[in-house]
Amino acid sequence: MAERQTVDARGAFCPGPLMELIAALKLASVGDEVEVLSSDKGSVNDIPAWVAKVGHQFVGSTELDGYWSVVVKKAK
Amino acid sequence: MSKTILIVGGGLAGTIVANGLCRQLGAQLRSGAVSITMLGASDTHMYQPGLLYVPFGRMREHELFREQSRVLDRRIHYYVDPAKNVDVEKKQVSTESGRTFKYDYLVLATGSRIMPQSIPGMQEAAHWFYDLEGARKLRDALNNFQGGKIVVNINAPHKCPVAPVEFTLMLHEFLEGKGIRDKCEITYTYPIGRLHSLEPVAHWAGPVFEKLGIKSEIFFNTESVDPIGKTITSMEGSVMPFDLLVTIPPHEGAAVISESGLGKGGWVPTNTKTLHREGSDDIFVVGDTTNIPISKAGSTAHFEADVLIDNLASLVQEGRWAREYDGKAFCFIETGFSTGTYVWFNYQTPPTVAPPSQMLHWFKLAYNRLYWLSARGLL
Ligand SMILES: Cc1cc2nc3c(=O)[nH]c(=O)nc-3n(C[C@H](O)[C@H](O)[C@H](O)COP(=O)(O)OP(=O)(O)OC[C@H]3O[C@@H](n4cnc5c(N)ncnc54)[C@H](O)[C@@H]3O)c2cc1C
């Protein structure tokens, strides 16, 4: 069954939200979703750009109280 | 009744915690109110950061090792008997030899390990320096290298975020010293959209790489390596030829963690401030094996260990909590064979890089020796 995992990368300067997402996707199964919480606005652009490049699916991003939730589905 | 503290993993974090607890719980250890047991995988302790120097012949293998019994306080019951299963319900750990250890408090400090086998072709075709065997092979490969394309390939996740940059700069100097730099092309690949996850390190490395003629490719996450055709392919669709491939393979935590159902990939869900395993108030997690989204580094492990020692000692002696971990990390960075710098940050403070100097390089060299004092808890 597809799972949803949340990676809380708020305030994480290193390795940072995209690197955390890449690591989480490696352990996920096809169809699983990974939600990344990030306080870095750059991730809101970086993550969808990278996801499109490698062929995963960008589900969406939401601005919350001073941070962003970015959701990605593992497609392959 | 006597309380048992069981530490699984005798690397940097586990050793600092064990020695620090002995210092703070002297009276309880003497009276028998507390006992400390550690399960490890080896009777030797390796200084991992020293592996960086091995391929360049700048650190001898024997300098990396000490007997674990000499690094650990004698009051610790140390067993070379790796944990096989952690049962959080029964509060016990079973080992490979079939023993069972009960605990009142458990400290998980099993670190992280490289997984070149997780990428097709990587194990056959690549070199690395993140374990001793790999560092030896890379030393031989560099000694025999007469020129060609070298790819330094970094994969996520990995420990010690600065080692790949240090290695690349040292490689440049090594090839210059050998008189073959003009016959070599160095390309550095990185998983995200800049040269390093730490933004100031990325900004600093850009012009330095340019000046030294080191090429780079960002957004490069390895999909496969072709050992026969000698090419490396990224998930992003790039194919790069190489004569020598030096990789930082992706990492996972210890098998015992995932096999005991304590965390996917061996990463234990951990409270970022208290270092409790999420959902357990008798299990603490320290060092590389936490899932805390900060650098997996010896310094992180050390700062976490200091907090854990204070909290565990306070809990045992006074039944109260001492303090929280603030996310502190600090890394020395070798910028060649004769200069160095450092970077530090925590959950609140963004990282900054100090200007490289010879003095900071000497500090790092001094730390390479002082490590043993720090593991003993004396520094
Ligand atoms: C090449 C290189 C360079 C580095 N440079 C730096 C640097 O400059 N600065 C820095 O801060 N950090 C550096 N690091 C990183 C640093 O070494 C690690 O982050 C640090 O050792 C983490 O400590 P730890 O205790 O979590 O893990 P480790 O020190 O790896 O210890 C984990 C221990 O657990 C044991 N273990 C595993 N499974 C079991 C089991 N089932 N039962 C019992 N025991 C088990 C292992 O054998 C190991 O001894 C470097 C690492 C490498 C490889």
pLDDT in tens, B170-212: 999 999 999 999 999 999 999 999 999 998 899 999 999 999 9
The pLDDT assigned to B374 comes to: 85
In this predicted structure, what is the pLDDT of residue A45? 85
Domain ranges of chain B: 3-111+254-329, 116-250
Judge if the beta carbon of residue B49 lies within 6 A of ligand 1.
Answer: yes
Residue recorded with tokens 């208290």: B274
* % of residues, chain B, pLDDT over 70: 100
Contacts 24+ apart (CB under 8 A), B198-204: B198/A13, B198/A14, B198/B161, B198/B162, B198/B343, B198/B345, B198/B351, B198/B353, B199/A13, B199/B350, B199/B351, B200/B343, B200/B351, B200/B352, B200/B353, B201/B162, B201/B165, B201/B333, B201/B343, B201/B351, B201/B353, B204/B353
CATH 3.40.50.300 correct for B3-111+254-329: no
pLDDT value at B378 more than 90: no
Closest CA in chain A for residue B263: A27
The boundaries of the domain holding residue A57 are 4-73
Radius of gyration for chain A, computed over Cα atoms and rounded to the nearest angstrom: 11
> Which of the four pLDDT bands, split at 50, 70 and 90, describes residue B376?
confident
Structural domain total, chain A: 1
Instruction: Specify the pLDDT at position B352.
Output: 87
Q: Kindly list the residues from chain B whose CB atom is less than 8 angstroms away from the CB atom of residue A23.
A: 156-157, 250, 265
CATH code at A52? 3.30.110.40
Closest CA to B327 of A37, A10, A66: A10
Q: Is B3-111+254-329's fold the same as B116-250's?
A: yes
B116-250 is classed CATH 3.50.50.60: yes
pLDDT, mean of residues B288-312 = 97
Confidence band of A13 (pLDDT split at 50, 70, 90): confident
pLDDT band at B373 (very low <50, low <70, confident <90, very high): confident
Q: What are the chain B neighbours of A13 within 8 Å (beta carbons)? A: 197-199, 294, 345, 350-351
Whether B1 has a pLDDT exceeding 80, the answer reads: no
For ligand 1, atom 47, name the residue with the nearest CA.
B41
- Cβ atoms B37, B6 nearer than 8 A: yes
